[in-house]
Amino acid sequence: MCWQVWSRILGMIQRGSGLHFIYVDSMVTKWDYCEGKVLDQLHIHYNIGHLLTMEGDSVSPDGKYLVALNKLAIDRFNPVGPLHPQNHQLIDISGDKMQLLYDMPIPLGEPHYVVAIKADKLKPAVRYKSGWDSRTNKISPWKTRAGREKVVRKDGVVHVYGTVIRSHITPEIIEVEEGETVSIHLTNLERAEDETHGFAMYSQNVNLSIEPGKTVSATFVADKAGVYPYYCTEFCSALHLEMQGYLLVKPKGYVAKTGAKMTEGQKYTKADFDKQVKVNIDTQAIINSVVAFITAHNYKDFPEVVALVEDAFDQLGFAEESKKKSEGYAAKGDYQNATLWAGQHWQYQVKTADMGLRAKTFLEEHGAKKVEVKKAK
Ligand SMILES: [Cu+2]
């Protein structure tokens, strides 16, 4: 190949592609560097600062596109303040004539020396190891497992070891005294891809993003008595709004008046328990039909689906544990705990069904084929 595209007074070459930008004229020039001849010029939006071609900085440039990275965008987009968007323009350079395809304004400074790589070179991690601190890149000392949530007061700090999972933040209530330092450590128990939860607390400047497996901490001084709601900021499932709780900050030295008593929480009855069990049986029927669909197809040929199925079975394992606990309490006539665990069982079923349906849709959209299913004798 003997041509290049230029775009600066002294120019910047995208190696192997022969493209240059011309700053003052606001142009991209394509030229034949063997013959010293200009092949084509394209006006772009002012003012071009850099160029980017697909893998243009490598020894084997690839693709048919160039992006003009322009510095200024006055008059082009709606003004939204002193900082105007920077305009990036996508150009097709495959033919004799370059062709402008697309404008992309972004609210950042114009990037320098940008590199474009093929999407299939990306091999990102899907989830962190459970309890991972992404800042120190090792297991967090604050990692918490399901059922091990606790509040510990140590060296003048209230440490909250909490967890988040669809669709619950544990603990739901945190009680501290005015002036105490509070350190909240949250572990996302999810293993499913893209199941990030958020955690925002009113008035305490706490706003966390907690990706699957991650443990993250936030520390603040609860310096004003009051009730501060916290909640998940990601729309993580249909039961997303269940993910909330309250920080209660008692006035310093507050003593409850005599006679003031906490009222008992809601008591579930056998009827509540039976109702939840019926819902769980119906949900299981949906799961079974989805599993039947998936296993009747060549799902093992689709790594995305295999990952979803693994996650789904993980969740179903948790579901089994909750079901056993619920049945154990019911056998003892403790319908309060039996109903709570039956509800937990259902939560895991919903997660399983959610992943199963995503897997089913993927198979339908990617032309999965039917396979022979061995019948159990
Ligand atoms: Cu959530």
Burial 195-216 (b: 16+ CB within 10 A, else e): bbbbbebeebebebebbbbbbb
Q: In DSSP terms, which residues pair with 103 in a beta bridge?
A: 89
Distance 210 CA to ligand 1 centre (A): 9
Least confident of 37-51, 137-151, 331-345: 37-51
Neighbours of 94 (CB within 10 A): 11
Average pLDDT over residues 158-174: 92
Segments making up each domain of the chain, as ranges: 3-121, 132-250, 270-365
Distance 13 CA to ligand 1 centre (A): 47
Distance 153 CA to ligand 1 centre (A): 27
Least confident of 16-20, 119-123, 235-239: 16-20
Check residue 13 and give its pLDDT: 45
Is residue 176 predicted with pLDDT exceeding 50? yes
Query: How sure is the predictor about 198, in pLDDT bands with cuts at 50, 70 and 90?
Result: very high
DSSP state of 18: -
Helix, strand, or coil (residue 38): strand
Check residue 261 and give its pLDDT: 61
Distance 194 CA to ligand 1 centre (A): 11
Least confident of 46-50, 51-55, 365-369: 46-50
Least confident of 19-23, 186-190, 228-232, 303-307: 19-23
Distance 348 CA to ligand 1 centre (A): 14
Distance 324 CA to ligand 1 centre (A): 26
Dist. CA 214–CA 90, nearest whole Å: 37
CB distance 217 to 184 below 8 Å: yes
Phi-psi region of 250 (alpha: psi -120 to 50; beta: other; left: phi over 0): beta
pLDDT digits (tens, 9 = 90+) for 250-271: 999 888 776 666 555 567 899 9
Distance 182 CA to ligand 1 centre (A): 22
Least confident of 1-5, 80-84, 372-376: 1-5
In sequence order, the 6+-apart residues with CB closer than 8 A to the CB of 199 are 164, 169, 184, 186, 206, 207, 208, 210, 218, 230, 231, 232, 233
pTM > 0.95: yes or no: no
Least confident of 56-65, 74-83, 245-254: 74-83
Helix, strand, or coil (residue 282): helix
Is residue 10 predicted with pLDDT exceeding 50? no
H-type helices in 175-240, by residue range?
none
Average pLDDT over residues 147-162: 93
Distance 216 CA to ligand 1 centre (A): 15
Distance 188 CA to ligand 1 centre (A): 9
Distance 195 CA to ligand 1 centre (A): 8
CB distance 211 to 140 below 8 Å: no
Check residue 208 and give its pLDDT: 96
Distance 93 CA to ligand 1 centre (A): 44
Q: How far is CA 334 from the centre of its chain?
A: 38
Check residue 259 and give its pLDDT: 63
Q: 132-250 — its CATH code?
A: 2.60.40.420
CB distance 26 to 44 below 8 Å: yes
Distance 62 CA to ligand 1 centre (A): 40
Distance 230 CA to ligand 1 centre (A): 12
Distance 127 CA to ligand 1 centre (A): 16
What is the average pLDDT value for the chain, to the nearest integer? 86
Check residue 8 and give its pLDDT: 41
Distance 368 CA to ligand 1 centre (A): 31
Report angle CA 274, 279, 283 to the nearest 5 degrees: 145
Is residue 16 predicted with pLDDT exceeding 60? no
